[in-house]
Structure 1
Amino acid sequence: MTLAFAAASPDSIPLYITDPEGLPSISDGFDPAAQAWLKAQGFAAGPSECIALPSPDGRVVAAIVGLGDAKAQRRGRFLAAKAASLLPKGIYHLADAPASADRAEFALGWLLEGYRFTRYKSASAPAAELVAPEGVDAARIEAIAAGEALTRDLINTPSNDMGPAELEAAAATLAKSHGASMTVTTGEDLLAANFPLIHTVGRAAAPHRAPRLIDMRWGEAGPALVLVGKGVCFDTGGLNIKPGASMGLMKKDMGGAATVLGLAHMIMALGLKLRLRVLIPAVENAIGSDAFRPGDVLTGRDGKTVEINNTDAEGRLVLADALALAAEGGDALTVSMATLTGAARVAVGPDLAPFFAQHDADAQAIVAGAEASRDPVWRMPFHDPYEAMIEPGIADLDNAPSGGMAGSITAALFLRRFAPDRYVHFDIYGWQPAAAPARPKGGVGMGARALLEALPDLLGL
């Protein structure tokens, strides 16, 4: 779906953003009838509270949306953006906002509030439209919103319509739209091309859902950036089958792939001066006579051996081959994104994107980017003393250490064994469990905006 700003109009309706403290100064500028209307409606500028002010003939002549008090603002994001779904039909322009209100945040939030997933059921887009506020980069915000919409659409699509082949098709459409090149290695060809872990995890799936590695390239000059996204299009858990309650959201287990594709759109649409590579191992972790087994010892692309102690820890296996390929290209900044561990959710919940960075300067840039883009992250440690936990007796690595402690950290340490030196890993959730302003329930991007904002510092752009 298209998320875009309205063209400027002489008839656009003024929209005010305010906190409770600033409400009197705004209302004092209205005529007595409008002031009486505000009082009669009990409008108090609470968080996301919205009101339209009518003229005597019933037209909307102004609107106000509240931010709530300081406590509400600390607890919420995109609070004013909810107005996009609450206001009546019309074209609005931002008339006034407190200094604390970020115009770019409001503008992006407004567009994201307009997102609807309509593949299987129609849903009306908001009737209200917004003229891009003065001082914001409208084209950049529209590119970010489009990338986020792509991520949400891919995650929200159920696995029967978003298997490895469909994920490949989505990547191909994106590549074509930006003039990127793309190659795909599929099925038994993965073995010939030395991607044994990707093949092993996906080989039990039906032939039309065969495993594959998607490799997209864009840009001919500038610093190099490699994005690696986990594309497990459905995860049964393999022979260590998940219980039903844990399998219900496994259509989102390709959320890492969806997020890097959304971020790739942002980068390409904005024409950033860099060389981008996107690697997506796309598989279905199915149950079948050819499924890999607990106790198997597998050999990855770079020769490291892995003892399989849980077939439900498959994401790190497919990422290992992709990261090994990335490492062959040198020490380009390499970022993996994956819905990898439940331990990350236990640690930080669904709203924060935990990430691991090998270098402090990279971590600092990402944290600053997250704050500027209202895309919250939390740095986790590559804690070297835990390395022993991923080293079993009969192989180089253990894909699922026993004990259940530090699950997100040990998974990240596992991935680091295959990655180049300049490495960042995001262990994301990719799902909004309850609707919030600019974030309906369902698939959601995490970390992409933070990375986009950080790229100038990360790559010297």
Structure 2
Amino acid sequence: MPRVTTLLPATEGAVPIRCVDAAGWPAVAAELPPLAAAFATASGFEAKPGRIALLPGPDGTLATVLFGVEAGERGDPFAVGRLPDALPEGTYRFEALPGDPALAALAWQLSGYRFGRYRDRPAPKARLVAPDGVDAGEIDRIARAVAAGRDLVNTPANDLGPAEIEAAARALAERFGAACTVVSGEALERGFPLVAAVGRASPRAPRLIDLTWGEADAPKVTLVGKGVVFDTGGLDIKPSAAMLLMKKDMAGAAVALAAAEMVMGAGLPVRLRVLIPTVENAINGEAFRPGDVLASRKGLTVEIGNTDAEGRLILADALALADEEAPDLVFDFATLTGAARVALGPDLPALFTEDDALAGELAAIGLAVNDPVWRMPLWGPYASLLDSKIADLNNVSGGPFAGAVTAALFLRRFATKAGAHVHLDLYGWNAGTKPGRPEGGEVQTARLVYALLKARYAVPGEARSAS
């Protein structure tokens, strides 16, 4: 399990942290003891975003921390995530916060994540007391789930193949008493031909992971995660520069597992199913080819216009399986298209759904928990761009336009019975360190989906926090 610190109970001697903006600084300065106020002035502290002042007490020990923030809508809810790395070892508490104290506590915990598999990377030694009214167990549980997902994304493909993703899913299932079955070999060829075709060229066998948890008669929620452990592009091979981050092409699987850990840890009254098709898109004499026509689990035939559009193929078979039991909600998570990144950048996953109310709910919750998404259109007329002359559809449009939209329209063909289907096209990576988001793998939208399910299904007083 990833090393994640826990929030501390209330304790005497915790150093107070006061968040101040430019407008409020004069009043705060007037309240400070004379020695502390003089030190703040002498050190040149200004209440600008990210500025920190460590103020001494009469005995010279650290008495107060001042932290500059930006007020209003432009303020970063995770801004205090800068503090764990900036403060000396010790115990701290928030005395004044401009925003949600639960988000501030979570930002602190998420900022302390370190990927230490290959070299020691000590975590910050500054510890935080849980703010008043904040469920510390809930915050710690979310932080652990995010850390576990980040670890998967950060692990390079030589140490993380389909078998290792299976092991992670089985370990999670064992922790929470879930069932976990895996389809591979000849059974995969028969039941999930697209998954089998994409993974056939790798010596590491493809598979379909199926985890179920919860009461059978509870609302059915299915999470589908793209698990391409490395993507060469196949015979339509990527240039070398485009392969550098392809270890993260399984981030959708990591998101699904992280969200599942949050849901099961909270004991939400849902029947949860997690489906992960996991493959390596490699190259050898058995690799699938441009121009091939492949069968799918749903019965639709797919002409391959580009072998580098493999993620939608494996998701299609998994979505078809999910759809067979007509779940109430289906979410699929995938690092699917560069087009979504061009449109929205790396920090804002693209949201596709036909359910207007659900789209609005997700957008609002995403802002509230600082795990945002932006809705993009499932523009029906573009479906004709996927027409094939010899098969039911092509896996790409063959043109330069609307790549994220046509990918979502492709997936829609395989999820027709669910009460609602949400496709999330995400980046899964932080290119640089920001508060609460260290550089490296990221499980974008996992917290969002958990928050939505909690808002919809948690019975007051019954959802629990896992230890």
Quote the residue 1:106 is aligned against. Answer: 104
Kept in 2, the 8 Å contact 1:66–1:80? The answer is no
Kept in 2, the 8 Å contact 1:234–1:251? The answer is yes
Matches within 5 A, 1:9-88: 9-70=11-72, 74=74, 76-88=76-88
Once the two structures are TM-superposed, the CA of residue 279 in structure 1 deviates from its matched residue by: 0.1
Kept in 2, the 8 Å contact 1:51–1:87? The answer is no
Kept in 2, the 8 Å contact 1:185–1:212? The answer is yes
SS in structure 2 of the partner of residue 409 of structure 1: helix
**What amino acid maps onto 2:431 in structure 1?**
P
Kept in 1, the 8 Å contact 2:69–2:75? The answer is no
Kept in 2, the 8 Å contact 1:226–1:326? The answer is yes
Kept in 1, the 8 Å contact 2:77–2:100? The answer is no
Kept in 1, the 8 Å contact 2:221–2:327? The answer is no
Among 275, 280, 295, the residue aligned to 1:279 = 275
Kept in 1, the 8 Å contact 2:268–2:457? The answer is no
Once the two structures are TM-superposed, the CA of residue 407 in structure 1 deviates from its matched residue by: 0.3
**What amino acid maps onto 1:150 in structure 2?**
A
Kept in 2, the 8 Å contact 1:187–1:203? The answer is no
Distance 1:264 1:456 in 2: 12
Q: Give me the identity figure in percent.
A: 51
Matches within 5 A, 1:415-430: 415-419=411-415, 420-421=417-418, 422-430=420-428
Kept in 1, the 8 Å contact 2:93–2:129? The answer is yes
Kept in 2, the 8 Å contact 1:13–1:63? The answer is yes
Cα deviation, 1:107-154, whole Å, max 9, x if unaligned, reads 110100111111111112111100110122222211211111111111
Quote the residue 1:376 is aligned against. Answer: 372
Quote the residue 2:189 is aligned against. Answer: 191
Q: Structure 1 residues 35-44 or 50-59, which shifts more?
A: 50-59
Q: Structure 1 residues 289-298 or 121-130, which shifts more?
A: 121-130
**1:2 maps onto 2:4 in alignment:** yes
Cα deviation, 1:232-253, whole Å, max 9, x if unaligned, reads 0000000000000100000000
Distance 1:196 1:386 in 2: 26
**What amino acid maps onto 1:121 in structure 2?**
R
Once the two structures are TM-superposed, the CA of residue 434 in structure 1 deviates from its matched residue by: 1.3
Cα deviation, 1:9-60, whole Å, max 9, x if unaligned, reads 1111111112121122222222211111111111112222222212344321
Distance 2:452 2:444 in 1: 14
Distance 1:331 1:262 in 2: 20
Quote the residue 1:95 is aligned against. Answer: 95
Distance 1:51 1:124 in 2: 24
**1:128 maps onto 2:121 in alignment:** no
Distance 2:39 2:110 in 1: 30
Distance 1:60 1:457 in 2: 41
Quote the residue 2:249 is aligned against. Answer: 253
Distance 2:70 2:298 in 1: 54
SS in structure 1 of the partner of residue 24 of structure 2: helix
- Runs of at least 5 residues in structure 1 that lack an aligned partner in the other structure: none
**What amino acid maps onto 2:69 in structure 1?**
L
Distance 1:38 1:127 in 2: 24
SS in structure 2 of the partner of residue 33 of structure 1: helix
Once the two structures are TM-superposed, the CA of residue 339 in structure 1 deviates from its matched residue by: 0.2
Kept in 1, the 8 Å contact 2:302–2:392? The answer is yes
**What amino acid maps onto 2:224 in structure 1?**
V
Give the number of equivalent residue pairs. 454
Once the two structures are TM-superposed, the CA of residue 456 in structure 1 deviates from its matched residue by: 4.5
SS in structure 2 of the partner of residue 147 of structure 1: helix
Among 212, 220, 244, the residue aligned to 1:217 = 212
**Alpha carbon RMSD of aligned pairs, Å?**
1.4
Once the two structures are TM-superposed, the CA of residue 440 in structure 1 deviates from its matched residue by: 1.0
Matches within 5 A, 1:345-384: 345-384=341-380
Cα deviation, 1:84-104, whole Å, max 9, x if unaligned, reads 111111111111223xx2211
Kept in 1, the 8 Å contact 2:16–2:93? The answer is yes
SS in structure 2 of the partner of residue 20 of structure 1: coil
**1:402 maps onto 2:404 in alignment:** no
Once the two structures are TM-superposed, the CA of residue 367 in structure 1 deviates from its matched residue by: 1.0
Kept in 1, the 8 Å contact 2:304–2:394? The answer is yes
Distance 2:318 2:24 in 1: 53
Kept in 2, the 8 Å contact 1:34–1:53? The answer is yes
Change in Cα spacing, 1:116 to 1:456, as seen in structure 2 (3 Å) is: closer
Q: Structure 1 residues 405-414 or 52-61, which shifts more?
A: 52-61
Distance 1:432 1:39 in 2: 36
Quote the residue 1:301 is aligned against. Answer: 297
**What amino acid maps onto 2:97 in structure 1?**
A
Once the two structures are TM-superposed, the CA of residue 395 in structure 1 deviates from its matched residue by: 0.6
Distance 2:5 2:218 in 1: 30
Distance 1:218 1:346 in 2: 37
Once the two structures are TM-superposed, the CA of residue 458 in structure 1 deviates from its matched residue by: 5.0
**What amino acid maps onto 1:26 in structure 2?**
V
**What amino acid maps onto 1:90 in structure 2?**
G
Distance 1:50 1:217 in 2: 47
Distance 2:56 2:440 in 1: 35
Matches within 5 A, 1:128-147: 128-147=126-145
**What amino acid maps onto 1:439 in structure 2?**
R
Kept in 1, the 8 Å contact 2:88–2:126? The answer is yes
- Normalised by the length of structure 2, the TM-score is 0.94
Distance 2:122 2:432 in 1: 19
Quote the residue 2:149 is aligned against. Answer: 151
Matches within 5 A, 1:316-335: 316-335=312-331
